[in-house]
Structures are given as C-alpha cells and as structure tokens.
Structure 1
Amino acid sequence: MNFHYDEEAIRYLKEKDAALGAVIDRIGPIERPIDADLFSALVNNIVGQQISMKAQETVWGRMLAKFGAITPENIQRATVEEIQQCGLSTRKATYIHEAAEKVITGECDLAALRDMSDKDVIDKLSQLRGIGKWTAEMLLIFSMGRPDVMSWDDLAIHRGLRMLHHHRKITKELFQKYKRRYSPYGSVASLYLWEVSVGILPEMKDYAPLTEAEKKKRLKQRKELKRAEKQTL
C-alpha cells in the first residue's frame, strides 16, 4: 500500500506554488509505501534511527526472521537480549520492548490514535522512550496516512525548500509560511521536497552558505587546479 493522495491535492499545490508545481510536473506521481500496522511501523522507525537504510533493512529482516510478525505480543515475549541479537543497541532493544509492554497493558492505546488530531498523536507517541516529535510525524505520514504533515525537524525538508525557493536559510517564520501555503496537503508537499533534496533534478542547487569544511575543500580544489594549469603551460 502506498501513501494516498489525489488530483485535488496536486491541483491545489500547483495553484498555491508555481515553483513546486513545476517540480511536480517534472517528477510526476510519487509512490511511497506505508505500513498501516502502527506498532510494526513504530518498531521499524526505532530500528532505523541514526543508521543507514541498508543497515535498517538488514536488522529488520533479522527481526522478521526471528519473531515472525512484529506484534506487541511477539516482542513482549522476547527478552531485551533476544531483540538486541538482531543487531540493535541495548538502548534501542529496550525502547522496543518497553513499547510492546505499554501497548499490551493499554498504557499506549494505538487504536485510539486513529481518532486523535495530529498534535495529540504526536504528544501521545512522544511519551514513549525512543519516539521524538520527528519520528511521530513520520508515523503520521507513513503509517496513518495523514495528509497535512510537514516537519520542522526534518533537515531534508529545509534543504528542499532552500533549493526550490533559493533561500540561504529556512527560519521558523519562513517555514511556517510554506507550511500554511501547502496546508491541507503538507504531506504531499513533503514528498516532493524530499525528492528535490536528494538531487533528483540536477540543475537545482542548495543555496545554504558553505560550511568551513566546504570552504577549505573548495580552496584546496582551486589551488590544485591552478597548479595543474601551470604544469600545462
């Protein structure tokens, strides 16, 4: 199952932002899979924190092989050590085990989240150790399919906005302006901003000021180029 959006969302975004509309036309439809099982998605998000996508897929495959379906019951029956054996840190394994226990005891009622506002879902999920605001927002999009989520804490969103609108920096005020512009389809706008941020359109560049490391790298490249030019004279 993919994140669902319709032609009305596309029409609205193109009407509100010509630059984004041009990107939408060039990229075309985006298909991003979602995991409608909120507990499974929650665990997968904890697994993927601060590791590469490839490493996440490897660990997730081991968990599926070891536990079968990633359900609160299967995870709660395991020990933290058994979860850790899949390639997780003790901290992550503990967070996952605690989440399973809280779901089983009813302290965290995942089914009830379906009827809550985005803000209330974020507040509730953030009470779980290992789940911060950004992770909760990603669960809103990629598990619950919520249509209007745009994360201030997502650096790729910042980069996408800089590249799209030629900003050197995305301030909170500027971010809120775009968030209001794209509402009620912030999640769809986010899909396209993520695509822009990874360089899918090679002519689009990031306008953020260079870091000191980047400045040194460019200076070194210029010196090497001048040296090479002298050698050819």
Structure 2
Amino acid sequence: MSSVVTKFFDYGQEEIDYLRSVDPVLGAAMARMGRVERVIIPDLFTALIYAIVGQLISVKAVRTIWNRMLNHFGDITPQQLALHTADEIQSCGMTMKKALCIHEISNLVAQGYFKLEELPGLSDQEVIQKLMTLKGIGKWTAEMMLIHSMERRDVVSWGDIAIRRGMMKLYGLDKLTKDQFEQFRLNYTPLGSVASIYLWEISFE
C-alpha cells in the first residue's frame, strides 16, 4: 500500500482487559495471540476505493491491483481518477463492474455531489445508509469503511465470512445462526471492532 498513508487501528490494554472480562473464551485467545495489528487507511476516499477493489477477491489479488493503480494513476484521489476512463481503471486488473463504480464515485466526490467529509459527524448506522446510496457499495463494504478508515469502535459484520468463521472456530461451533452471532456481538459491545480484529486473525490460523 505504498504511497498511501496508513496507520494501525488504535486500541490498548484497557480494551483488551474489557473484552477478556466480558468473554473469557475470547480473552484466552487474545492472551495466546498477543497484540494483533490491523492496518487502516485514514483517508476516506482512498479507503473507499480500496474497499471496492477488495470486494470478493483475495488479499494477494487486492495488493496486485492496488499497486498497478498506484503505478498508473499516482495518487488515488477523486480528481485524479475522474480524469481517467472506466476502461483505464479496469486495465489495472479488476472487473468492469468495479471500474464503473469507481469511476462514478470518483466523479460524484470530485464534483461535490457526495461529501465524504460529512461522514465523521454521522452515527455508524447513518454512515452505512449514506455509503449504501453509492453504486457498488453494500452493507459489508460500508461496515469495512467504519473499521478500516474511520476507526469506529463497535463494528462486527455478519456479512464478513472470515468473522463468522473466526467465531465458529473460537467457540467450537459447526454452524452459526444469526441469533448466536447477535448474542456474541452484543457481548462485545462497545468494543466490537477490537473483537473483529481478533476474529479475523483466528479465522486464518
């Protein structure tokens, strides 16, 4: 993700201790794993484009496409991407559907029709609703934005297969119902995002 400003999701011992106290099973896993870092992209536009590129493909594939985009376009800004055609965007290795979405969103932001700078003032639910008005942005992508750009503290996404897989592995479940998921999610509140960071890691162990 070179030439894009990144940082780690901000959490500390206080958050770890809280989750251990409300969920000893998760707490034991956290103690075993030590601190898990999660890279985030503070710039909302860059993070949104990265999230679209990453829909339904592997982490390795995302990195390849992202590096091609950086080489081709330089900075990932609305103004820069709006100057280029969807064909040029697609040539970096993504589907035409994604390229068209990226092109449209870049134009909307560049021309001021969609104001990303308004998002920080909104609640999690309002951010999700506003982002879902954009073509190609579903609930999962919006939730990933909340964690991976805005560092919102309490997001556990039912739509994320890896998070569900992490829960099943952690609690020794053969299947996971929506009700079970909701019970775990409510238990983690108000620090669901930190729990998510560990659940992702557990799912890939």
> Take 2:80 and 2:112, find their aligned partners in 1: how far apart are those partners?
16
> Take 1:195 and 1:22, find their aligned partners in 2: how far apart are those partners?
14
Matched ranges for 1:1-233 at <5 A = 1-199=7-205
Structure 1 counterpart of 2:104, which letter? E
> Take 1:92 and 1:120, find their aligned partners in 2: how far apart are those partners?
24
Where structure 1 has 5 or more consecutive residues not aligned to the other structure, the ranges are 200-233
> Take 2:160 and 2:200, find their aligned partners in 1: how far apart are those partners?
10
Q: Secondary structure at the match of 2:121?
A: coil
Structure 2 counterpart of 1:163, which letter? K
Deviation at 1:88, TM superposition (A): 2.1
Structure number with higher relative contact order (C-alpha < 8 Å, ≥ 6 residues apart)? 2
How many pairs align? 199
- Aligned-residue Cα RMSD (Å) equals 1.1
TM-score normalised per structure 1: 0.83
> Take 2:174 and 2:86, find their aligned partners in 1: how far apart are those partners?
45
> Take 2:122 and 2:48, find their aligned partners in 1: how far apart are those partners?
17
Where structure 2 has 5 or more consecutive residues not aligned to the other structure, the ranges are 1-6
